Amino acid sequence: MRRLKEWSENKVKYIFIILFIALGSCAFAQKQNVAGLKEAIAAFDKALAEPDSVALKKLLSDNVSYGHSNGWVETKREVIDDLYNGKLVYKTIIVTAPAVTIQGNVASARSMADIDAVLDGKEMSFKLKVLQVWTWENGHWTLFARQSVPMPKEKG
């Protein structure tokens, strides 16, 4: 009888240890996932500024909806093609105030961006608010949707 009681007490201890490890690893995985998402966002911005079709093909969902601040919306193919045909050339992309939220395999990333670009041969500068929706697919983050809007002009 005593052995049965000891076995039951040990069993409860092991269950608590397993639960503690499982919960700890979930929290650790979530932190790693946020870090991984931020790395994907930085890699995406770099792939735009230094045109890298290999990186873009990996980072863009096949069904991406890439919305610009002027209402122009592009597909994956169009984003990549326009970087190489000269329609849109990103000179600099500076992202500030990033805020990331992850729920399951979907994440939103909100930020502000200062972008210097050449659009149809004309140099332009943009101050934007950007929302990106990322999905976790096949072991990495892919951009599913992006929309930007102009920052409001400061009164002065």
The 3-state DSSP class for residue 125 equals strand
Report the C-alpha gap between 139 and 101 in whole angstroms: 18
- 154 pLDDT band, cuts 50/70/90, is confident
| CATH number, domain 2-150 | 3.10.450.50
Q: Which pTM does this prediction carry? A: 0.78
Query: What is the domain partition of the chain in residue ranges?
Result: 2-150
Got the DSSP string for 79-122?
A: HHHHHHSSSEEEEEEEEEEEEEEEETTEEEEEEEEEEEEEETTE
Which tens digits make up the pLDDT trace of 70-119? 999 999 999 999 999 999 999 999 999 889 999 999 999 999 999 999 99
Report the C-alpha gap between 84 and 51 in whole angstroms: 7
Backbone angles phi, psi at 149, to 5 degrees: -135, 150
Which tens digits make up the pLDDT trace of 10-21? 665 555 455 445
- What are the helix and strand counts (H, E) for the chain? 3, 6
